[in-house]
Amino acid sequence: MQFEERRRVKREPKHCLDNSVVGDSWRMFRIMAEFVDGFDAMSAVDVPAVTIYGSARISKEHKYYKLTEEIATGLAQSGYAVVTGGGPGLMEAANKGAAEAGGVSIGLNISLPHEQAPNPYANFPLHFKYFFVRKVMFMKYSMAFICMPGGFGSLDELFEAMTLIQTQRIKPFPIVLVGSDFWAGLVDWIKDKLLAEGNINKEDLQLFRVLDDAEEVVNFIKKTVIV
């Protein structure tokens, strides 16, 4: 399906997984098809990929939009493919920065009842119905994660990555939280609650790095993910 066709895909109705008229046995085949399509497409990308997560609700005028675009531009110029969730906001900023720098700009879009129309800057778009299939594509084909400020979705993806690394289900890779002002409260809570009460180990704090400057982020990725 070409990108322009994907943009016309109907948004999912609310509670679609609860109310589906398709039986669970038949749903399995659609899930399998999404995995096959995703694996086939993503395995064709022949350069290291870096995923950039972030809010769908941040406007083009916001400082984080411009910072995300700058980071993606630097990554593309350094030979990395940039992967996003394919939607608006900071996902759009990342796809825009990568595409306008002449890089591979991958958008893994998903059907939602709201706020997830595909952005026009992904030159390598894919479309998903199931969150968990889409998340496998992020985990399997990315060599680093950059987490810009975001909401529940960004936090979900961040903590899943750290959980999979912590439990040794996937090989360790760099995770960068961009924006110390935004992430400081979460980092303090992790230290003051999770670490202090013995729910994580001190070494788990090394799973992520907090950075602020676009050049610093790109240089960190270049040191840890070899093209």
As to burial, measured by CB atoms within 10 angstroms (0-12 exposed, 13-18 middle, 19+ buried), residue 76 is: buried
> Which DSSP letter does residue 201 get?
-
Centroid of chain to Cα 148 = 10
Banded model confidence at residue 112, pLDDT cuts 50, 70, 90: confident
State both tokens at 22. Answer: 């398709």
Secondary structure in 3-state letters for 5-62: HHCCCCCCCCCHHHHCCCCHHHHHHHHHHHHHHHHHHHCCCCCCEEEEECCCCCCCCC
pLDDT in tens, 30-88: 999 999 999 999 999 999 999 999 999 999 999 999 999 999 999 999 999 999 999 99
Banded model confidence at residue 1, pLDDT cuts 50, 70, 90: very low
The radius of gyration of the chain from alpha carbons, rounded to an integer in Å, stands at 17
Q: Is the dihedral of CA 9, 11, 15, 20 positive or negative?
A: negative
State both tokens at 155. Answer: 């936090």
DSSP SS3 for 80: coil
Q: Amino acid identity, residue 39?
A: F
**Calpha distance 90→59 (Å, rounded):** 8
pTM over 0.85: yes
Contact 50, 82 (CB under 8 A): yes
DSSP SS3 for 145: strand
Centroid of chain to Cα 143 = 11
Which pLDDT score, from 0 to 100, does residue 15 have? 54
Which pLDDT score, from 0 to 100, does residue 109 have? 93
All structural domains of the chain, each given as residue ranges with its CATH number in brackets, are 3-224 (3.40.50.450)
Which pLDDT score, from 0 to 100, does residue 5 have? 37
H-type alpha helices, 125-209: 131-141, 152-166, 180-189
